[in-house]
Each structure stands twice: as C-alpha cells, then as structure tokens.
Structure 1
Amino acid sequence: MRVVLAEDSVLLREGLVRLLEETGAEVCAAVGDGTELLAAVAEHRPDLLITDVRMPPSHRDEGLKAALEVRATYPGMAVLVLSQYVELTYATELLAGASSGGGVGYLLKDRVARFADFADAIGRVAGGATVIDPEVVSALLANRGAADPITSLTPRESEVLALMAGGRTNAAIAKHLVVSAGAVEKHISSIFAKLGLAATGDDHRRVLAVLAYMQQR
C-alpha cells in the first residue's frame, strides 16, 4: 500500500511515518501543508491519502479542503482524515462525497496511539470501506432530539449502528457482539425500518445512508 501523509507537526509526522511502515505501507511522501499535499498526490498517485484536518497557513480546514479536492480529482483514491477533536461539520463534508468511490475515513488522533485500531482502520479504508471514529458516532447519537426516530433504537441496535458506521461487515459485527449472523441481520432490518431507510446489502452505502439521515435532523 502506497501512502501520502500530510501533517504539519514534524514530530507527529515522523511518528506516523514509522507507524505506517510498521504496517507494511510505503510512505511515498510526508508533507506539511495542503499545497504540498496536492502536489505529492499528483506526483505519486498513492493508494491512500492520510491528512490532518487543520493545516497551515490558517490551521483551520486546509487539510480537509485538500482532501475534498483529492476526492473530486481522483474519485477512486482512499482518503483518511485525522482530527484532534470531534468536529461533526468536517466529518459531514468528507462523508458527503464518499459515494464517488474509494474508501473514506475520519479518525481522532487519539486513535493513532492505539496501533491495532489505526492499522485496522487504514487497512479497511484502503480496501474501500467507510470508517468513522466511534467517538464521532457517539456524538452523532447523543445529538438527537427526543422526537428523532434514532431515539427509538434499542441499546443493542445503537451498538450495531455504531459498528456499521465503523465500516464493519455483518460477520464482523456478529463476532464483536458474540451473537449469530442472523441476529445481526434482524437488528439491521429493525434499524432501517425505524429510520425509514431501505435496507441494502452494500455496507458502504448503508453506512452513508444512516449517517446522512442522522445529520439531516
């Protein structure tokens, strides 16, 4: 897997390079701002772009904007965005274009310190999955009004929804919850029914549909 990394903190950038190399990835370029990011992607055409949301010069959303430009220019390229905090607006912008193809992910930087979680996330994003940090999912779930259909989900259904949003397949959800595949299918059918969404066998599309619905409320 060939990776372009964009992170303005030199220490964190070097640490990420080492972590990526430990996963077996080849870091084609490690850069410090959005302009360099776009140039590196154009030159190397990596399998995966990993970028911080906040980049120079304003340290606001330059990294995210560059990632969105990459998604528009290279629709099949996988993109993983890292953020210091849960920023739902940024997550929404990134995920809005996920249907264009290629994996997409939004992770908090704290997740990087958990090597197994980080390695799993980059592998799934590079493989075409949608991966959303569990804390982002929790914030979305917590940000619901009493009249919102999402509040009608049972605790188990909320758990299944969070795992779906994390890019897990039905088999992976069943293994994580120690239940049968049939039980997971029933929970998912119930979730879609309560949210008024048509079920689909495409994990990528179903995650996007659920998140889109949640963020429209």
Structure 2
Amino acid sequence: MRILICEDSVLLREGLVRLLEHGGHTVVAALPEASELAGAVATTDPELCILDVRLPPTFTDEGILAALELRRTRPGLPVLVLSQYVEERYASELIAAQGGAFGYLLKDRVADVGEFIESVQRIADGATVLDPEVVAQLLTRRSRDDRMRALTERERTVLAALAEGRSNQAIASLLFLSEASVEKHITAIFQKLGLEPDGGGNRRVLAAIAHFESVGATAPGDADHNYPNTQTGASA
C-alpha cells in the first residue's frame, strides 16, 4: 500500500516510515508540515494518509484542518489521524464528514505495533477505526442528550465497542456475551437513538456520533461497504 505521512516530529516520522516499510508498505512521502500536503497528495497519489493533529507553524489545528480538507477534496482517500489528545472541537466533524475510511488513534495509547499495522490495513480496506478513549469522550460530552440518557450502561458499552469498528462476534467475545445478546443490544441502541439499522453498519456508528454532536442535524448517509453482521449495525 502507498502511504503518505505528515508528522512534525522527526523521530516519530522516521519511526513510522521504518515501521510501515517493514510491514510491506511503501511510504511515498514523509512531510514535516501540512503546507506541502495537497501538492504531495496530487503528485504521489497515496492510498492512505497518516496525519498528526498539531503541525507547524502554530502547532494547534493545522493537521486536523488538513484532514478535513482531504476528506472534502479526496473523499475516496482513507485518512488516519494520530493525536496526543482528543480534539473534541473537530473530532465529531472529522468522524461524521462525508469521505473515505477514517481512523482516529491516540499516540500514547498505541501500545502494540502489530495492532497498529492491523488498524492501518483495516482503514485502507474501508473500516472506521476509533480509539476507545475518543469514543468515550464524545459520548460523555453528549450525555445530556435525552437519547443518550435512555441508553443503559451495557448499551453504552456495546455502542462504544461498535464505534471502534468491532464486529458483532468481536463485541460478544470482548464483553462475554452471546452474539444474540449483542444483536439485541444494538437493535435497542438504534431504536433509542432514532436510527434504523438498515445495513450501513459503519455509517450508523458515525451517524450516532454526529447525532450526539448536534441535536437535529442530518446524519451522514450509509457507506457502501460490506461488513459482517451489517443487518444489526456492526462493522468489521
């Protein structure tokens, strides 16, 4: 896979290059700042972009704004955002934006190289991969929403796992439940959130988070990906 990296820390940037190339991928560009990103994407035609959130010159939101622009101008290009923190101001907008596959991982919580490489591949294959802490903070932030209060503690746990991109089978294994129980929980979640589980598993998770972000906002459309157990709103 052809990957473009935009990361200001030279150690992390070079570390990502070595890690990804060791995993069999090709790094077509490794940039220290977002100003060169658009031109590099146009000339190298990557299959996935990895961006830090805070980049020069101000180290505030250059990376996340670049990610939003990529999702707007290159909707078919998978994007993985790496961050030190959950940038709540933009996180929901990034997740809910119309665009290709997406990932949001926290640097300090990437503890296993194999899992990171697997996440990169899953995003490239069309999945949405969110760090559980990102999901937890977004859900907590919207806990005042009556629809969120209607969810049981177990349903919130299932929703968080679903938003991480886990299949029904994986959620069942994680929470020590039967797959039938997981399916019932997911059905109840979407009923309480006013979302019909009609086969767009990945987009249903995004729609739920977008729903929490702005009451009454229009939810994104369903993705045309084929995930296992999509009849219950789960994604692979």
Which TM-score applies when normalising by structure 2? 0.84
Report deviation, 1:212: 0.7
Aligned to 1:88: 88
| 1:40 alignment partner in structure 2 | 40
Q: In structure 2, what is the Cα distance between the partners aligned to 1:213 and 1:163?
A: 17
The C-alpha deviation readout for 1:1-41, integer Å capped at 9, x for no partner, is 11000000101111111222233221111111112222221
Query: Structure 2: how far apart are the matches of 1:82 and 1:204?
Result: 20
Q: 1:178, CA displacement in angstroms?
A: 3.4
8 Å CA contact 1:169–1:203 kept in 2: the answer is no
Q: CA deviation at 1:73?
A: 2.0
User: Match for 1:121: what amino acid?
Assistant: S
Equivalence for 1:149: 147
Please state whether the residue corresponding to 1:185 is helix, strand or coil.
helix
1:167 and 1:203 in contact (8 A); partners too: no
Q: Which residue of 2 aligns with 1:161?
A: 159
Match of 1:14 in 2: 14
User: How many pairs align?
Assistant: 215
Is the 1:160–1:187 Cα contact (8 Å) retained in structure 2? yes
What secondary structure sits across from 2:75 in the alignment? coil
Please give the alpha-carbon distance, in whole angstroms, between the structure 2 residues aligned to 1:181 and 1:23: 33
* Ranges of 4+ aligned residues in structure 1 off by more than 3 Å: 144-147
Quote the residue 1:105 is aligned against.
103
Cα displacement (A) at 1:147: 5.8
Q: Secondary structure at the match of 2:198?
A: coil
For residues 27 and 159 of structure 2, the distance between their equivalents in structure 1, rounded to whole angstroms, comes to: 33
Q: CA deviation at 1:112?
A: 3.2
Deviation at 1:186, TM superposition (A): 0.6
Residue number in structure 1 paired with 2:135? 137
**Residues 130 and 207 in structure 1, CA contact (< 8 A), matched pair in contact too:** no
Cα distance change, pair 207–147 in 1 and its aligned pair in 2 (3 A): closer
Gaps of at least 5 residues in structure 1 are: none
RMSD, matched Cα: 1.7
- Does the 8 Å CA contact 2:93/2:210 hold for their aligned counterparts? no
Are the equivalent residues in 1 in contact too, given 2:96–2:209 (CA < 8 A)? Answer: no
Q: SS where residue 110 of structure 2 aligns?
A: helix
Measured against aligned partners, the alpha-carbon deviations of 1:116-157 in whole angstroms (never above 9, x if no partner) come to 332232121111111211101111222244563212322221
CA contact (8 A) 2:145 2:212 kept: no
User: After alignment, is 82-91 or 169-178 more displaced?
Assistant: 169-178
Match of 1:62 in 2: 62
- Pair 42,146 (structure 1): closer, same or farther in 2 beyond 3 Å: closer
Confirm or deny: 8 A CA contact 1:4 1:27 kept in the other structure. Answer: yes
**Aligned residue type for 1:81:** V
Q: Which residue of 2 aligns with 1:4?
A: 4
Shift of 1:171: 2.7
TM-score of the pair, normalised by structure 1: 0.91
Question: How far 1:169 sits from its partner (Å)?
Answer: 2.1
Q: Aligned pair in 2 of structure 1 residues 116, 157: CA closer, same or farther (>3 Å)?
A: farther
Aligned counterparts of 1:33 and 1:113: Cα–Cα separation in 2: 25
Check whether the contact 1:67–1:79 (CA below 8 A) recurs between aligned residues: yes
Which of 188, 191, 214 is the matching residue for 2:189?
191
Structure 1, 67-76 or 125-134: larger mean CA deviation? 67-76
In structure 2, runs of 5+ residues without a counterpart are 216-236
